[in-house]
Structure 1
Amino acid sequence: MTTTTTSTTSTPAAQASPKHTESALPARATVPARISGERPTTGVPFTRLVHVELRKMLDTRAGRWLLIGIAAIIAVALTIMFFNNGGQHSFGDYLQATTMPMAIILPVVGILAVTSEWSQRTGLVTFGLEPRRIRVAWAKLVSALGVGVGAFALAVALAGIAHQAAITFRGIDADWSIGGLVLLGAAGYVLLGVAQGVGFGMLFKNTPAAIVVYFVLPTAWSILGSMVSWLRTASEWLDMNQTMNPLFQGSLTGEQWTHLGASVALWVVLPLAVGIWRLTRSEVK
């Protein structure tokens, strides 16, 4: 049995055929025409960044449930005051009942506004669209303070409705007397807590750690300051639970202002400064 092998050898003329060479080369890419019009010279507007951060805080499941929880606590507090002592409470008392839950829980919304970039891994999108992280940090702080202002305005409205309802349905004596400085002090109480929450969120960038430290550390400091004698003087200067109480009275002495400034520098300004520094230098994965 024999096997015949046939080999075909192409000639140089065939290899250099113009048609063969033309078909082997890729098609020439065409350059798109230049888009007419002016080129953008500015980045993302700061107002748009604030709007986006507001959406992150309010248009999420965690944010909504926190606000629902605050509303439920305020409703319970106003109901108790409405039936307690015949509803005989001043407008200032009702305002304190609506302000305190906000001052305690609203800072958590500020914490989530910062830590969500790392816990939900949205940082790549956020800092990809706006590489200047310092602007994102300020947008988070401004939007959180905006939520605080809106919440305080709602607290004033709810306190007024509750007091008027007690006047109408319980027959109490109207007492709308409240000073403008008291209102400003109550607003400052809420906004300082929100700013502190944002600072702790930037400092730790982890939701559980920021929330635990925010509630435990100042509380532990207050307990130690009240129990340990040699810490009482320092506690008068650095315990925000003590230094912010005169805000509801509407009048602070020079010494009280100094104490408030020292405690705010420690618990609000310092975490914000270090947190913004970390936010602008942390690696986003």
Structure 2
Amino acid sequence: MSTAPTTTTAGAARPAPVSKSAESAMPATARVPSRIRGERPTGRVPFGRLVHVELRKMLDTRAGRWLLIGIAAIIAVALTIMFFDNGGDHPYGLYLQATTMPMALILPVVGILAVTSEWSQRTALVTFGLEPRRPRVAWAKTVAALLVGVAAFALSLVLAGIAHQSAITFRGIPADWSVEGLVLLGAGAYVLLGMAQGLAFGMLLKNTPAAIVLFFVLPTAWSILGAMVSWLQDAAVWLDLNQTMNPLFEGSLTGEQWAHLGTSVAAWVLAPLAVGIWRLTRAEVK
């Protein structure tokens, strides 16, 4: 039982102490929780965990899964056509092109969605609330996109090898596994640069339709103008990424061609990515 209320010397009433029997009769929600034992976490979120979360945002969503299913379907159709065309008599390099081209063209959309979904679905407040250091989130998205690109390129190598070996075994074609190192470098760079460029456009615009449309329209329009307009042809040699990457697939690059490639990569990938990260760190979260 509780005792009667007591008064202080100033005459103000103070609550009487509660007995153990009355305390035990209180509902569990009304009890004051005891202090949690152990040390409180004071460090920041590990960067590896941020990368893992961004990978899940890219792949473990409905849009991401359907994009991957679409890429797989296109690759399967392309390899099937090559398997029956000309008796499947194609070198490994052509099978590799059939697997890398769909990935390089469509996979960047996954990188775009990984950024723009934060703003279109209003989850940026949660993301930056859990990790207020926005540059770390931006770099985690970049690393996750590049990891997806590396995994996609490795998978394309395996699928091309399986298709070529199947043609050797079942169609009786002669084996031709010869691929120059620069060709492999070009195929891998095509996939990775596409992922980085898609991520950059997503950070720049933070709007899914606008980022996807401009990602496909701007480079294509520039390539067409550079080929048709005479006074733009000299600039296109330096700034048309599709044109500057062609020598990689041919297996030979001169010093001047390396300079052309570096300039176009800086203009279409590095500069948009830098500006996109800057905008992401300063955009208002609603």
TM surpasses 0.5: yes
Whether 1:265 aligns to 2:256 is no
Q: How far, CA to CA, are the matches of 2:97 and 2:32 in structure 1?
A: 67
Offset at residue 248 of structure 1 (A):
2.0
> Residue 172 of structure 1: SS of its match in structure 2?
coil
Partner of 1:226: 227
**Aligned counterparts, 1:130-209, within 5 A:** 130-209=131-210
CA contact (8 A) 1:114 1:202 kept: yes
Matched AA of 2:189: G
**Aligned counterparts, 1:1-285, within 5 A:** 18=7, 22=13, 35-285=36-286
Q: How far, CA to CA, are the matches of 2:155 and 2:33 in structure 1?
A: 55
Matched AA of 1:213: L
Deviations 1:139-189 (A, max 9, x none): 001001101111111100000000011011111111011123322221111
Q: How far, CA to CA, are the matches of 2:98 and 2:239 in structure 1?
A: 25
Runs of 4+ in 1 over 3 A off after TM superposition: 17-21, 30-39
CA contact (8 A) 1:189 1:247 kept: no
> Residue 280 of structure 1: SS of its match in structure 2?
helix
Deviations 1:114-141 (A, max 9, x none): 1110011110110000000000000001
Matched AA of 2:80: T
CA contact (8 A) 1:196 1:271 kept: yes
Q: How far, CA to CA, are the matches of 1:137 and 1:98 in structure 2?
A: 29
Q: How far, CA to CA, are the matches of 1:118 and 1:167 in structure 2?
A: 49
Offset at residue 67 of structure 1 (A):
0.5
Offset at residue 38 of structure 1 (A):
3.4
Matched AA of 1:111: I
Deviations 1:76-98 (A, max 9, x none): 11011111111100000100110
Q: How far, CA to CA, are the matches of 1:139 and 1:119 in structure 2?
A: 19
Q: How far, CA to CA, are the matches of 1:248 and 1:107 in structure 2?
A: 20
Offset at residue 252 of structure 1 (A):
1.4
Q: How far, CA to CA, are the matches of 1:251 and 1:42 in structure 2?
A: 49
CA contact (8 A) 1:188 1:247 kept: no
CA contact (8 A) 1:74 1:98 kept: yes
Q: How far, CA to CA, are the matches of 1:52 and 1:187 in structure 2?
A: 24
Matched AA of 2:120: S
TM-score by length of 1: 0.88
Instruction: Report % sequence identity.
Output: 79
Offset at residue 222 of structure 1 (A):
0.7
Q: How far, CA to CA, are the matches of 2:257 and 2:128 in structure 1?
A: 41
> Residue 122 of structure 2: SS of its match in structure 1?
coil
Offset at residue 251 of structure 1 (A):
2.6
> Residue 174 of structure 1: SS of its match in structure 2?
coil
Q: How far, CA to CA, are the matches of 2:147 and 2:120 in structure 1?
A: 23
Deviations 1:239-267 (A, max 9, x none): 01111122223331111111111111111
Q: How far, CA to CA, are the matches of 1:250 and 1:191 in structure 2?
A: 18
TM-score by length of 2: 0.88
Q: How far, CA to CA, are the matches of 1:159 and 1:228 in structure 2?
A: 38
Q: How far, CA to CA, are the matches of 1:31 and 1:65 in structure 2?
A: 49
> Residue 131 of structure 1: SS of its match in structure 2?
coil
Offset at residue 22 of structure 1 (A):
2.7
Q: How far, CA to CA, are the matches of 2:76 and 2:62 in structure 1?
A: 21
Q: How far, CA to CA, are the matches of 1:266 and 1:90 in structure 2?
A: 34
Q: How far, CA to CA, are the matches of 1:103 and 1:247 in structure 2?
A: 15
Q: How far, CA to CA, are the matches of 2:114 and 2:148 in structure 1?
A: 11
Q: How far, CA to CA, are the matches of 1:213 and 1:18 in structure 2?
A: 76
Offset at residue 32 of structure 1 (A):
7.3
Note the residue ranges of structure 1 that are not aligned, 5 or more in a row.
Answer: 1-16
Note the residue ranges of structure 2 that are not aligned, 5 or more in a row.
Answer: 1-5, 19-30
Partner of 1:8: none
